[in-house]
Amino acid sequence: MLTPTALARAEAHTAHNYHPLPVVITEGEGAWVTDVDGRRYLDFLAGYSALNFGHRHPALIAAAHAQLDRLTLTSRAFVHDQFAAFCQELAELCGKDMVLPMNTGAEAVETAIKVARKWGYQVKGVADQQAEIIVAADNFHGRTTTIVSFSTDPEARADFGPYTPGFKIVPYGDLAAVQDAITPNTVAVLMEPIQGESGVLVPPPGFFAGVRELCDANNVLMIADEVQSGLGRTGATFALDHEGVIPDMYVLGKALGGGIVPVSAVAANTDVLGVLKPGEHGSTFGGNPLACAVGVEVVRLLATGEFQRRSAELGVRLHDGLNALVGKGVTAVRGRGLWAGVDFDPALMTGREACERLAERGVLAKDTHGSTIRLAPPLVITADELDHGVAQLAAIL
């Protein structure tokens, strides 16, 4: 058995900022991974949606290989031949004028915050240093010092102060609270269309349509953090599509890199992203040739609509299977498309225990708060594979 030795080595030389399951993966293909001892697992997490297209999707691997043989990095000090196609095609997918590429989801959120503040000062006319952004309780937008400043999760926030000011926290899904929080200094409302880290929480119907109306009425930017929820995960290109709502800014990441390289971006119209001038924001690796080559192929896969349809159709199958377990050890199921939060009876098991038992049966998932687990299988999963995963969940009850 190679797993115990590999785990011990990692434990000895790694900062303990994660508590992974005792699985050491060495290969992956489609919806499956293999560990160092040759055991196969069905991946029901897909890298928190970073692997929406599965492990080593042939088109994405081919794009990466082709670019690796040509050029990998120039920095934004120069222009490379993959940049224009990536920005143009992603902007078209989003229905926006412009794209600002970064690397990680947290960087993209930070970019959106900076742009919203600058827009507030230069366009809306907010007094210097007075800009406010409304966010939701139980959010997860990343782990930078600014982002954890408006987190309500003690594990993410405690002992990392002093905290960045300028944020108002309201209950998620409470439209009246959003309205009450808006002042002349409000420059943006930043929220996840579905809260993933909190257990795949879906807002009440009409909530985001109401947020859109409030933003329009008060000259406030609406920013949708679609890092986890976007790019096909919920059965539509963006989770807000289900609400018929278009934000002023999309924050994208995870699946945009195809599970190969970290790629993120902010997409908005010229009247918003146009406030940035040379030297005011950037990244050495943001928009690099390898990232753009993979990102272009991701956008082209999404442009076919195939993955959105698969998520919508198989999502019905997933939720039907999970809802059949309610009252049999499962207390609640939430989500949309191929994305679900599953609550277990706390007297039966914790979320961590559920994931450990699933791993023993060859299925990988991730626990979140208390007795909740998150399921986000890759969009390439087959109906039979999906049924197999749900059957293993039923078996651990």
- The span from the CA of 212 to the CA of 256, in Å, is 25
Side-chain-facing half-sphere of 329: CA atoms under 13 Å: 12
Catalytic residue among 53, 140, 150, 238: 140
Catalytic residue among 35, 225, 248, 343: 225
- The span from the CA of 342 to the CA of 112, in Å, is 31
Say if residues 337 and 309 touch (Cβ distance below 8 Å): no
- DSSP H helices, the chain, are 3-13, 58-68, 83-94, 105-119, 145-148, 154-157, 175-181, 207-218, 270-273, 289-303, 306-323, 351-360, 383-396
Q: For this structure, is 225 an active site residue?
A: yes
- The span from the CA of 121 to the CA of 397, in Å, is 55
Q: For this structure, is 241 an active site residue?
A: no
**First-residue to last-residue Cα distance in the chain:** 28
**Strand pairing of 330-335 and 25-29?**
unpaired
162 preceded by a cis bond (ω within 30 of 0): yes
- The span from the CA of 360 to the CA of 368, in Å, is 19
Catalytic residue among 254, 307, 343, 344: 254
Q: For this structure, is 114 an active site residue?
A: no
Catalytic machinery residues: 140, 225, 254
